[in-house]
Copies of this chain bind each other. A is one copy, B any other.
Amino acid sequence: MPDIVNTTPLTVADLSESQLLQRIFPRLNAGDANVLLLGPGDDAAIVAAPDGRTVISIDTQVADQDFRLQWNNGYRTTGYDVGWKAAAQNLSDINAMGARATSLVVSLTVPPETTVGWVEDFADGISAGISGLGAGGCAVAGGDLGRGRELSVSVAILGSLDGRAPVLRSGARPGDTLALAGTVGHAAAGLALLESEVPVDRLTREQRALLDTQCRPRPPLAAGPSARDAGATALMDISDGLVRDGGRLADASGAVLDLDPAALKQLAAPLQDAAALLGTDPLDWVLGGGEDHGLLAAFPADVQLPPGFTAIGSVKARATNDGPAVTIAGKPADTVGWDHFAD
């Protein structure tokens, strides 16, 4: 009997878990064959850990908390966006240890009305994020699919240090140069545009790029290992904002990060136009916005910064425990980034 034409899109409730997984598996990045020793389909996967160590991190995104499926300005978040961002955030955590991602596992929780097309698009977004960010050797090793009222995705990621020492948050020393790879504030500007009344088709190409940074961030994944090789003393992923995350690095290192106002001004320049449109100060985005997943690094003063890094300040000695952890030209930086819980 021929199929009757059906205009209702297939939802996850129409398929069994294994039918759904069969649609997803072929879309997932397989990584290097010598890394993914056993792929999806058994109780667990097996991944090579060539130097006898594994770097591991986990990160979750929840709809209406970490992103909106439907934004105020009319933009609809695609499955591709959610998959890309989940990959990018986790790849950035491995990068921030000076490591190289080898594999990740994905757990996706979806409401029953979610279309199968959305889930396929999500799988494509993960794979595109991995390869688009230059991490093609990172395999999707397995996952878990479940149903819930709320769309949510957790990714756990593994990385290799390839026999080298990790670069921690705690190693910055007074006199070090503070440097940034990637951007800060672009994703926050994109978020403000998404939450504004300005429709997407009214945005300039540059403003549209800010929106893209929020939905599909591009952390500088080559920068972690190259900073490590150049002798970086501390590394950290900026996910909650330069001042907040910088404060964490400063606290872990027992130091103060002093930001250079001229460098901040340069970081704010590409945001000037969007800030004018929305009537805000671009410096707030630079100091408080995370989610670009730029890489903050400290280097000894005599080290030549690796490609992709720009000096944005310096590390100073901390006189007292209750002084500010982050300063701008010596004055306390009060703007704080986003916190998951505090109001």
Which A residues contact B (CB, under 8 angstroms)?
12-13, 15-17, 20, 37-38, 41-60, 62, 64-66, 92-94, 96-97, 99, 103, 105-107, 109, 112, 141-150, 152, 154, 156-159, 161, 166, 168-170, 235-237, 252, 339-343
Q: Which of B53, B146, B340 contacts A340 (CB 8 A)?
A: B146
Interchain CB contact under 8 A, B38 and A168: yes
The answer for the CA separation of A103 and B58 in the assembled complex, in Å, is 13
Interchain CB contact under 8 A, B55 and A52: no
Q: Residue of B at shortest CB range from A57?
A: B44
Interchain CB contact under 8 A, B107 and A154: yes
The answer for the CA separation of A1 and B40 in the assembled complex, in Å, is 58
Known interface pairs A150-B150, A168-B38, A341-B12. Does A45 touch B57 (Cβ–Cβ under 8 Å)? yes
Q: Which of B53, B57, B109, B141 contacts A142 (CB 8 A)?
A: B57
Q: Which of B38, B52, B157, B235 contacts A166 (CB 8 A)?
A: B38
Known interface pairs A49-B52, A97-B44, A166-B38. Does A58 touch B107 (Cβ–Cβ under 8 Å)? yes
Q: Which of B15, B38, B44, B56 contacts A44 (CB 8 A)?
A: B56
Interchain CB contact under 8 A, A52 and B44: no
Which of chain B's residues have a CB closer than 8 A to the CB of A106? 58
Q: Which of B20, B44, B148 contacts A55 (CB 8 A)?
A: B44
The answer for the CA separation of A148 and B38 in the assembled complex, in Å, is 33
List the 10 shortest-distance A-B pairs measured between CB atoms, nearest first. Answer: A156-B156, A49-B49, A154-B154, A44-B57, A43-B96, A62-B148, A58-B105, A60-B107, A150-B150, A16-B342
Q: Which of B45, B52, B141 contacts A52 (CB 8 A)?
A: B52
Which of chain B's residues have a CB closer than 8 A to the CB of A60? 107, 109, 144, 146, 152, 154
